Amino acid sequence: MLLISQTWWSGTRENPHCRKYLVDFHPTLHQSRKLYTTLQSAHVAPEIYKLRPDYRALLMVVEGVPPGPSDDGSEALVLEAEASAKHLLAKHAVGGIPHIAAWRETYRAYAAKPQKTRNSLEALTRRAAAAGGLPRVNRPTDIYNAVSAKHQVRLGGEDPDRYDGSPFLTRASGREEFRTLSGGEARAAPGEPIWCDDAGITCRRWNWRQGPRTALTDDTTRVLFILDALEPLSDEALARAAEELALALGRLSPEVRVTQRILSALDAAGGGS
pLDDT 10s digits, 96-127? 999 999 999 999 999 888 888 899 999 999 99
Give pLDDT tens digits for 248-265. Answer: 999 999 999 999 999 999
**Domain assignment present for 71:** yes
Could you tell me if residue 256 is inside a domain?
A: yes
Q: Residue 4 pLDDT > 60, yes or no?
A: no
Would strands 257-263 and 56-63 be described as parallel, antiparallel, or unpaired? Answer: antiparallel
Identify which has the larger pLDDT, 55 or 268.
55
Name the more confident of 45 and 25. Answer: 45
**Does 67 map to a domain?**
yes
Q: Is 64 left (phi over 0), alpha (psi -120 to 50) or beta?
A: left
Bridge partner residues of 210 (DSSP): 203
SS3 272: coil
Q: How far apart are CA 140 and CA 258, in angstroms?
A: 14
- The backbone torsions φ and ψ at residue 37, rounded to the nearest 5 degrees and listed phi first, read -65, -35
pLDDT category of residue 273 using cuts at 50, 70 and 90:
very low
**Which residues fall within 8 angstroms of residue 202, CB to CB, at 6 or more apart?**
158, 163, 167, 195, 196, 210, 211, 213, 214
181-212 pLDDT tens trace: 665 557 788 999 999 999 999 999 999 989 99
- pLDDT value at residue 159: 95
Q: Is residue 273 part of a domain?
A: no
Q: 151 is in which domain, residue-wise? A: 3-268
The CATH code of the domain that includes 226 is 3.50.40.10
- As a whole number of angstroms, the distance between CA 115 and CA 192 comes to 16
For residue 19, being part of any structural domain is answered with: yes
Quote the pLDDT of residue 176.
Answer: 87
pLDDT of residue 13: 34
**Could you give the CA distance from residue 167 to residue 146 in angstroms, rounded to a whole number?**
24
The pLDDT of residue 112: 87
pLDDT, tens only, 132-177: 999 999 999 999 999 999 999 999 999 999 999 999 999 999 888 8
Under the banding of pLDDT at 50, 70 and 90, the label for residue 242 is very high
Angle at 161 between CA 36 and CA 240, to 5 degrees: 60
Distance CA 85, CA 123 (A): 11
Domains identified in the chain, total number: 1
Please report, for residues 13, 36, 44, 61, 245, the alpha-carbon distance to residue 7 in angstroms, rounded to integers and kept in the order given: 20, 16, 20, 16, 18
Note whether residue 99 is domain-resident. yes
Average pLDDT for 224-246: 98
Asked whether residue 155 is assigned to any structural domain, the reply reads yes
d(CA 159, CA 157): 7
| Position 34 pLDDT exceeds 60 | yes
pLDDT of residue 179: 79
Q: Are 268 and 45 in contact (CB under 8 A)?
A: yes
Cα–Cα distances in angstroms (integers) from residue 170 to residues 149, 150, 190, 240, in the given order: 26, 28, 11, 26
Higher-confidence residue of 32 and 224: namely 224
45 belongs to a structural domain: yes
- List, in order, residues 6 or more apart from 15 with CB less than 8 Å away: 265, 266, 269
For 73-92, how does the pLDDT look when each residue is reduced to its tens digit (9 = 90+)?
999 999 999 999 999 999 99
